[in-house]
């Protein structure tokens, strides 16, 4: 026997089975609000997605309830409508889908995006100089990434975008991944007493919270008239699937109806921490000519800012949506 083995003989081993055996799902660590243990509410959706089959492409599922890589379609071509319909269905099912090796132009990106609806123009982010429908994110040593916070896009609009298509043009040698999180999983994982509290609440969203520094003082009144403070339900139902979705973020939400400022920010922060649970998310490692297509109601996203001063260039087309609603129970 080795010395290590001899030493182990002096240790009394009390366990005869895995410490998790017999525990009732997730448990709290004494003294803390966070839980640990199996996320059992994900299992039914995981099994449903694993049983799906597709006629026009192959799918690689990335995590239990969110994310899939799609192999087959060439997005530079005029795809048949039945392929577009299948891509849309895959988006509803997986919440975010990814395509690799799509060597397409900005104009082809717009043409593909328009197959899913009308496109919006963002008033506070710089566009591609030739195609205003594309927001251009050009990060470098002078402009590092500030999108590293979980959020749905443009929730300060009365009708936030329904979905978005982001294309990688130039990526850093290391880093710059984008993460996506399932807003239904985040809601369903909440304790029942929290769900009951938030199901009837509204949140105030404001563009100035994120973009105030780019709006000249003499343009603020005009911009406020165009984009007034807007209230959306804290919990919405997805426009297609009907699933309840947690719909708050730290970037644009400024208040919760019926709560004072301190109470409002505490509740916003508590809810936003649900998006940080890793089991609800997937992570996409970009390559040149990769494309992410996400459902802007069903997921939030987070762009990792770990690559400065290297260059990262992306272009995004956003498809117009409708006002988020909550079906009353």
| Catalytic positions | 151, 153, 301, 316
- Report the C-alpha dihedral over residues 248, 254, 257, 258, rounded to 10 degrees: 120
C-alpha–C-alpha distance, residues 83 and 44, integer Å: 27
Strands (DSSP E) contained in 140-233 are 163-170, 178-182, 202-205, 230-233
DSSP 8-state class, residue 275: G
Token pair in block for residue 275: 């998006």
Separation in Å, CA 61 to CA 67, 269, 287:
6, 30, 18
Rounded to a whole number of angstroms, the CA Rg of the chain reads: 22
Give CA separation, 91 vs 81, 99, 173, in Å.
Answer: 15, 12, 29
Cα distance between residue 251 and residue 205, in whole Å:
9
Q: Which stretches of the chain are DSSP H helices?
A: 3-8, 43-50, 81-94, 106-114, 183-188, 192-198, 208-211, 220-226, 261-272
Q: Which residues contact 212 (CB under 8 A, 6 or more apart)?
A: none
**What does the alpha-carbon distance between residue 196 and residue 291 come to, in Å, rounded to a whole number?**
38
- Which 8-state DSSP code applies to residue 10? T
**Total count of residues recorded for the chain:** 329
Q: Distance between terminal CA atoms of the chain?
A: 67
Would you list the DSSP string of 34-98? -EES--GGGHHHHHHHHT---SSSEEEE-SSSS-EEEES--TTS---HHHHHHHHHHHHHHSEEE
């Amino acid at each position: 026997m080795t010395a290590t083995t001899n030493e182990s003989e002096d240790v009394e081993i009390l366990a005869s089975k895995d410490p998790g055996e017999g525990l009732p799902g997730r448990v709290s660590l004494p003294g803390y609000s966070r839980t640990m243990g199996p996320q059992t509410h994900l299992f039914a959706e995981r099994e449903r997605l694993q049983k799906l089959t597709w006629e026009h492409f192959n799918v690689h599922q990335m995590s239990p309830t969110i994310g899939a890589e799609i192999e087959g379609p060439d997005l530079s071509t005029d795809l048949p409508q039945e392929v577009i319909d299948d891509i849309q269905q895959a988006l509803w099912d997986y919440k975010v889908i990814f395509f690799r090796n799509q060597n397409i132009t900005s104009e082809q990106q717009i043409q593909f995006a328009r197959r899913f609806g009308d496109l919006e123009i963002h008033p506070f982010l710089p566009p591609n100089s030739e195609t205003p429908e594309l927001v251009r994110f050009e990060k470098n040593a002078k402009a590092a990434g500030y999108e590293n916070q979980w959020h749905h896009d443009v929730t300060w609009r009365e009708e936030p975008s329904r979905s978005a298509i982001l294309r990688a043009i130039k990526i850093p040698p290391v880093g710059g991944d984008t993460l996506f999180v399932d807003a239904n999983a985040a809601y369903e994982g909440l304790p029942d007493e929290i769900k009951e509290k938030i199901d009837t609440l509204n949140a105030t969203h404001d563009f100035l919270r994120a973009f105030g520094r780019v709006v000249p003082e003499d343009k603020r009144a005009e911009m406020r008239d165009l984009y007034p403070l807007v209230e959306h339900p804290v919990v919405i139902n997805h426009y297609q699937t009907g699933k309840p979705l947690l719909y708050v973020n730290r970037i644009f939400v400024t208040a919760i109806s019926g709560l004072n400022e301190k109470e409002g920010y505490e509740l916003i922060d508590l809810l936003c921490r649900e998006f940080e649970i890793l089991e609800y998310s997937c992570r996409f490692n970009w390559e040149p000519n990769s494309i992410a297509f996400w459902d802007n109601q069903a997921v939030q996203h987070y762009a990792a800012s770990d690559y400065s001063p290297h260059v990262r260039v992306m272009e995004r087309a956003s498809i117009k949506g409708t006002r988020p609603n909550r079906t009353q129970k």
